[in-house]
């Protein structure tokens, strides 16, 4: 399963819903299920992403940023010398 970076989504939740619980209620899921999604343990369902997009009239670019930003792994380079 691909890992996504949900930083933008977390900010969106805070701005538009105030709490994770209110966002989970909007999606019709429990807050634990939301945490599983935000931790990449479980994927967001298409219907959940669509509900957010429709409610806030989001563009395809906004949807991509919220739900499909790939997580970038940080690689440390060994310094020799």
Q: What is the mean pLDDT of residues 65-75?
A: 88
Structural domain including 43 reads 7-67
pLDDT tens-digit readout, 25-58: 999 999 999 999 999 999 999 999 999 999 999 9
Is residue 23 within a helix (H) or strand (E), and if so which, with residue range?
Answer: helix 20-27
Are 29 and 47 in contact by the 8 Å Cβ rule? The answer is: no
Long-range CB contacts (within 8 A, 24+) of 43-47: 43/1
Q: How many domains does the chain have?
A: 1
In a domain, 38, yes or no: yes
The CATH number assigned to the domain holding 58 equals 1.10.260
Residue from 27, 1, 24, 23 nearest 12 by CA = 23
Report the alpha-carbon distance of residue 38 to residue 28 in Å, rounded. 15
């Amino acid at each position: 399963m691909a890992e996504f970076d949900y930083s933008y989504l977390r900010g969106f939740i805070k701005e538009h819903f105030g709490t994770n619980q209110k966002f989970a209620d909007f999606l019709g899921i429990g807050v634990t299920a939301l945490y599983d999604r935000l931790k990449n343990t479980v994927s967001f369902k298409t219907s959940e992403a669509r509900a957010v997009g429709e409610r806030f009239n989001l563009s395809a670019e906004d949807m991509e940023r919220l739900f499909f930003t790939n997580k970038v792994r940080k690689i440390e380079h060994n310094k020799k010398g």
